[in-house]
Structure 1
Amino acid sequence: MAEDTGDTTYGPGGRGFYGSVTVSERGQIVIPAQARRDLNIQPGDKLLVLGDPAQGLALATIDRLIKNWQGPAAVLEQITQHARDPRPEAKPEP
């Protein structure tokens, strides 16, 4: 049974529904504050953007992805290398 806490609804296993976001013209979104609090996402944290044609997009920290990964080791190594790349982030388009 889902538990409703304000704008956030929690289901089995603590999974949350935090509402919806709108993609800006620059392709940006805002992660809802309650999601950031629940998942301990801090300013400056790097999130991986994962995609599946059937299920859509998912955001994950590298630590959570490694903990839950059940895919090919080569893909995980590529993701790990990208996530830990010390190069500065690309600057947003003007």
Structure 2
Amino acid sequence: MADEADGTPRGPGGRGFYGAVTVSERGQISLPAQARRDLGISPGDKLLVLGDPAQGLALMTVDKLLGNMDFSPVLKSVVREQMGEAGEPGSKSGDGSG
């Protein structure tokens, strides 16, 4: 794994390790600033939380996931429903509070 000038360890394909985060009592985490900069994540952006019992959680922006979901029209439909047809939040809360 090579280190970039910013100190972020990099693996194949530019994958990075940005450190560890702590889950608050309310279930919240803060994304490391360098990860937000590198991945173009801005305040107000919507992230999808994906889970696999064997591998854990992954976060992905809606546009990245929808761009990679040609193989799964059912899942694509569910995501669009959750986010609203125009990419706006649906009626269900995604912040873990509801």
TM-score norm. by structure 1 comes to 0.83
Determine the structure 2 residue equivalent to 1:4.
3
Q: May I ask how many residue pairs the two structures share in their alignment? A: 92
Question: Over aligned residue pairs, what C-alpha RMSD do you find?
Answer: 2.2
SS in 2 for 1:81: helix
The residue number in structure 2 matching 1:31 is 31
Q: Structure 1: any 5+ residue segments left out of the alignment?
A: none
- Of the two structures, which has the highest relative contact order with CA contacts closer than 8 Å and spacing of 6 or more? 1
Equivalent residue for 2:19?
Answer: 19
After TM superposition, give the deviation of residue 87 of structure 1 in Å. 4.0
Show the counterpart of 1:45: 45
% same residue: 54
Unmatched 5+ stretches in structure 2: none
Q: Distance in 2 between matches of 1:92 and 1:49?
A: 11
| Structure 2 length-normalised TM | 0.80
Shift of 1:22: 0.4
